[in-house]
């Protein structure tokens, strides 16, 4: 739970600011509140009591991260945010983010139509959750949505 909470916080910060959080902190997880809290901030490498290992080569992880391309628009938090900002109720947004296939279907159609509320309502009213498996060609759906 702590990891999920902290990853969510850091992902949201990155999506909003297009950079990693600058502060280095030690956090604890409050199990009652289901959230992480800052215990203390660290300013220097010595605060970590870090001793480099002479037998291990230095790896610049920032360069490695910059070579990875992740389509964040298809991640559950991003899809949920698109839906809610588009006027969909949070509990209805969770319907699409709870299943990868439903989420992928919504994202594909919404990328072409760009009307989250309309796409979500139309899919919810016309498809049962088990019907998403039988979708063979998403472009057919996009064409139908374009006509509506």
* 89 pLDDT above the threshold of 80: yes
Tens digit of each residue's pLDDT (9 = 90 or more) over 107-142: 888 888 888 888 888 888 888 888 778 777 777 777
Please give the model's pTM, rounded to 2 decimal places. 0.47
Token pair belonging to 20: 């990693």
CB under 8 Å to 106, separation ≥6 — which residues?
79, 83, 96, 116, 119, 120, 123
117 close to 111: Cβ distance less than 8 angstroms: no
């Amino acid at each position: 739970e702590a990891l999920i909470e902290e990853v969510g916080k850091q992902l949201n910060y990155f999506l909003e600011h297009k950079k990693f959080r600058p502060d280095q902190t030690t956090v604890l997880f409050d199990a009652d509140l289901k959230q992480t809290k800052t215990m203390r901030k660290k300013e220097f490498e010595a605060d970590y009591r870090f001793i480099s290992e002479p037998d291990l080569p230095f790896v610049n992880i920032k360069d490695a991260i910059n070579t990875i391309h992740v389509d964040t628009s298809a991640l559950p938090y991003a899809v949920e945010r698109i839906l809610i900002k588009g006027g969909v109720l949070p509990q209805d947004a969770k319907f699409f983010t709870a299943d990868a296939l439903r989420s992928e279907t919504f994202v594909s159609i919404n990328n072409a139509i760009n009307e989250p509320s309309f796409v979500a309502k139309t899919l919810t009213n016309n498809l049962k959750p088990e019907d998403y498996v039988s979708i063979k060609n998403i472009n057919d759906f996009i064409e139908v949505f374009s006509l509506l």
